[in-house]
Amino acid sequence: MSQKPVTMDVVIDAVAVVTIFNPPVNALAIPVIAGLMEKFDEASRRNDVKAVVLTGKGGKFSGGFDINVFRKVHETGDASVAAPDVSVALVLNAIEECKKPVVVAVEGLALGGGLELAIAFHARIAVPKALLGLPELSLGVIPGLGGTQRLPRLIGLPKAIEIMLTSKPITSEEGKKLGLIDAIVPSEELLKVSRRWVLDIAEKCKPWVLSLHITDKIGSLSEVKEVIKIARQQAKRTAPILPQHQACLDVIEEGIVHGGYTGILKEVKVFKELVLQDTAKGLVHTFLAQRATSKVSNVTDLGLKPRQIKKVAVIGGGQMGSEIATALIVSNIFVLVKEVNSEYLQKGIKMIQANVRALVKRGKLTKERQKKHSRCLKEFWITLNLKM
């Protein structure tokens, strides 16, 4: 029998450890979300459970909502088929408002819905170099599980907007400086520290933080409007035809002005609208197509690996040929270049040498490696001239 996507174990210290298992990145597929609802409901009712720790199996917490379900949404034209709806967002609200403290143990990554899930908890413990981010805008949508509301309250509006609009992740170290991560510990101590931390919350030795209710990092309404105004202007310059950037700012502003719960309801509504637009369809298709290039039928599925390339022939040492030769040589591949005469050959040599020097100047290649490649080039050209 295959392992369930979400399991729960109650250890001796009365802490329930809930584990997500959906390899390779513990994506929040529908069965995973259902499993989380079931286990947290059980933990909240059990008298032998004082607190809960959530973690992910396999060295990763969660890579976010399962993007494959977007395909079903686009095929049916119905966002309710598989996209997150109000009930899922409200489940996270229920977790945040649980009468028992909950802490998340983050290893590897917490991206998209994975981070939205994590910031609904009362504290976050992470390992070094874990990746945290909300990349939904790169797929044409916005965070749909409360990310637009909780992240600004946890780390402040300017940085939260930057993370969402650029779709770039940050490390757990930067997250700790911002207040997103409460502690960073070695991987082997992650669960131990997380269990102790959640018990400290239960025993009132550490603060019980409800991120949706934090207001001290938001600033005054006038400051909020100014920050959002600047972000809108920047988004118009960098993404003038993409609807998700302005929509994300609309939702953030709604929540700050009218309250986090109102913001979450609008977030879900806007998410459903955006996921059906052509922008999301195109960006999701591109993402899935790029990922599919790493899977070749009758090759990768059989475990076959490409043979090591040791020698490549390049026909022509002109502009394109010399650049191709440079890339190959820098990758430690022996290159044979064929030209129509020695004059063109010497021009090709000079262009390759200039390319290597430029790489060193830009910091893309060390001088030690330049010397190594120069020796290879010297031997290569002598060999080639003898053949001609």
What was the pLDDT predicted at 126?
A: 98
Question: Are 62 and 153 members of one domain?
Answer: yes
Domain harbouring 369, CATH code: 3.40.50.720
How large is the C-alpha radius of gyration of the chain?
A: 26
Question: Are 316 and 276 members of one domain?
Answer: no
Question: Are 255 and 131 members of one domain?
Answer: yes
What was the pLDDT predicted at 103?
A: 98
Domain harbouring 223, CATH code: 3.90.226.10
Question: Are 134 and 269 members of one domain?
Answer: yes
pLDDT in tens, 151-160: 999 999 999 9
Question: Are 200 and 322 members of one domain?
Answer: no
Give CA angle at 88 (87, 89), nearest 5°.
Answer: 95
Q: Do the beta carbons of residue 244 and residue 111 sit within 8 Å?
A: no
**b/e per residue, 37-51, with b = 16+ CB within 10 A?**
bebbeebbeeeebbb
Residue 297 in domain: no
- Is the whole-model pTM more than 0.95? no
- Tally of domains in the chain: 2
Question: Are 135 and 203 members of one domain?
Answer: yes
Q: Give the residue numbers marked as catalytic.
A: 116, 136
Q: pLDDT 10s per residue in the chain (388 long)?
A: 468 899 999 877 899 999 999 999 999 988 998 899 999 999 999 999 999 999 999 999 999 988 888 888 888 887 776 545 556 777 788 889 989 999 999 999 999 999 999 999 999 999 999 999 999 999 999 999 999 999 999 999 999 999 999 999 999 999 999 999 999 999 999 999 999 999 999 999 999 999 999 999 998 999 999 999 999 999 999 999 999 999 999 999 999 999 999 999 999 999 999 999 999 999 999 998 888 887 777 777 787 877 888 888 888 888 999 899 888 888 888 888 888 888 888 888 889 888 888 888 887 777 776 666 665 554 444 444 444 3
DSSP 349: H
Question: Are 237 and 380 members of one domain?
Answer: no
Measured distance CA(352)–CA(378) in Å, rounded: 12
Q: Which of 303, 296, 291, 335 is nearest to 317 (CA)?
A: 335
Residue 287 in domain: no
Q: Which domain holds residue 66?
A: 6-280
Residue 278 has φ and ψ, to the nearest 5°, of -60, -35
Question: Are 255 and 380 members of one domain?
Answer: no
**b/e per residue, 71-82, with b = 16+ CB within 10 A?**
eebbeeeebeeb
